[in-house]
Structure 1
């Protein structure tokens, strides 16, 4: 891995002291001045000054700035050892490449996440490369290989849905390559992941319907196997019944909705039409995804039923033309998820330890009646 930019700044200041250009008590350039001088971010210059202070090379005085510390023999030896290492020049064009691999993005989910990542990457003086996989494991493997061959320094991934982990991704993780997962995690695999507490979120949605008087509540989802977000949402739905002391009818759990993966809704529409006709007591639904909720609403309309006949809740809903939510839904904090993912990846590039889990708070948006 190339020398991090903050370490290059660090070495530059050590060199200035060693050459006598900066002496004990002299003021060192501020974070802002260093950032402008070398074309790096304030985050980078701040980290360089913090590391110098930790090493005892400079003293940072709040409200006044940073100053060269008294040169004790221990510091002289420390700086002599550092001077034995080459101090590469810093150039604005030395911006590391990082990659983002994501199944796709849309207005209801993913667009804000992407925008936040692009903005945060620029703040870190990194360039973000993006590859959409369309939910294909083969495309995901190809994207990983492509990005590694292009020389990326770190990778952010939203893994595709599926029953098997991607071997290329596992190889990177086990090889200690900087990786952050977004929106889901891999069970049993030690990799930094940023995601919503999907279990709690689905539980909140289900409890909302129970509080409205519903007891016969169905759950709609694509196949959940080995997709942590979907597994946790199903579990949250089930736990809500346990908390309320209600009996859960497993026949109300439909986890075979495949239209979001295949793009064909004909079979799903038939399944839902049959379910509605066979289970007339079910008047409430928890949909694991917005597209599933909209498909259900279309089936309800096709059956000639009024829209308010059923209570439908979901994740990541859009608003109508008046700016009001179409469904009561869980609103994930995409902006913070994106920022955290980039920050945690950059920390890995600096060689810092990062947590395996970073859970981002969610909100429940209630549709007005």
Structure 2
């Protein structure tokens, strides 16, 4: 069986051979030519990852495949060693037949494991995304592991390494804010390991992503606030740099304003708010943002409508406006992205509703295509809708 596998792998176009198969072939050749003899130690996951410049997930998969074909033995706490007795082809066939006829083994073989990495989640955005992923995984017989990073790159890298040790079959990543590509994430993509980004894409990285067309969504939301004609309108967000979602939302806001014949002034755009980021949920950050927004409103009395890139920042704006005696929507109108449902079916804010459940389902679907070696698109757009809330005048 393993000889068939080697023949099959080498018959592929070189660029189509997964990196774990190349490592498999490399070690197999060493065993076959006698460079690695019975009982010899095989390079570790880390050593192979460094040697081939791949992730440990990839090297781990190669060693597991060698072990599956009984070419090596993996001993807990000691390492991986060339098997004392090389299997005969007929033995491998009988083992394969036994697996094929044993319902329990067949059932276990079908289940894959998906690792999900997110900065955080909330009712406004994230919770339904996770439900969509979980539902799709259950339908496709996939186990699900999840890790929150709280928007910290070191936590994201640690999560990837942890999933590598656990041997997951694919990873879904909600990248952190302002993502400067961490080495672990970049290496997975270069390895061709099954990985899908959700909510945003990473510029310059050829990896499949599932997300809302944030530029179009912000354009639609801004137009909703501009329906009564031309008027100055403000924009609030966390820092936009290296975060495609916010960058695109700012572009969409600007597009809508320019379509009305005017360009937003720089002082009407506020992108230095931090309290909506997972690592900044503490009260001091919220209070600091409240003061920033208060000054922003006071310095721009001509503004009577705002687009907020995030729900939590819309809450801060609402609190500021109420504190200075202003009414919503009579004095000011607010639109934002995402908003949890309120009692009796009302929504606090007019907002962009992203189809999180479909994002999650689509991300798992793309992993399935990758496992089956099918082509996948890099950019997978999920439709949005504008939902009217009590923050705008009907």
- Choose which of 295, 317, 328 in structure 1 pairs with 2:339: 317
Q: Is the 8 A contact 2:230 2:260 kept in 1?
A: no
Moved more, 318-327 or 215-224: 318-327
**2:130–2:360 Cα contact (<8 Å) kept:** yes
Q: TM-score, normalised by structure 1?
A: 0.75
Alignment of 1:141-220 (within 5 A): 141-220=157-236
Q: 1:277 aligns with which of 286, 293, 298?
A: 298
- Out of 369, 378, 392, which is 1:347 matched to? 369
Counterpart contact for 1:215–1:246, Cα < 8 Å:
no
The alignment's TM-score, normalised by the length of structure 2, stands at 0.70
Match in the other structure for 2:387: 365
SS of structure 2 residue aligned to 1:93: helix
* CA distances 1:299-326 after superposition (whole Å, capped 9, x unpaired): 1112222232210000011233222111
Name the CA distance, whole Å, in 2 between partners of 1:318 and 1:129: 25
Distance 1:340 1:320 in 2: 27
Specify which of 92, 105, 109 is matched with residue 107 of structure 2: 92
In structure 2, the gaps of 5 or more residues are 3-92
SS in 1 for 2:345: coil
Once the two structures are superposed, residues 84-113 of structure 1 have per-residue CA deviations (whole angstroms, 9 ceiling, x without a partner) of 995543522231111000111111111111
SS of equivalent to 2:389? coil
Q: Does 1:287 align with 2:308?
A: yes
> What secondary structure does 1:304 align onto?
coil
Distance 1:212 1:365 in 2: 18
1:224 aligns with 2:224: no
The separation in 2 between residues aligned to 1:163 and 1:179, in whole angstroms, is: 16
Cα distance between partner residues in 2 of 1:189 and 1:163: 12
In 2, the alpha carbon distance for the partners of 1:284 and 1:202 equals 14
Cα 1:367–1:313 shift into 2, 3 Å: same
Moved over 4 A (4+): 83-88
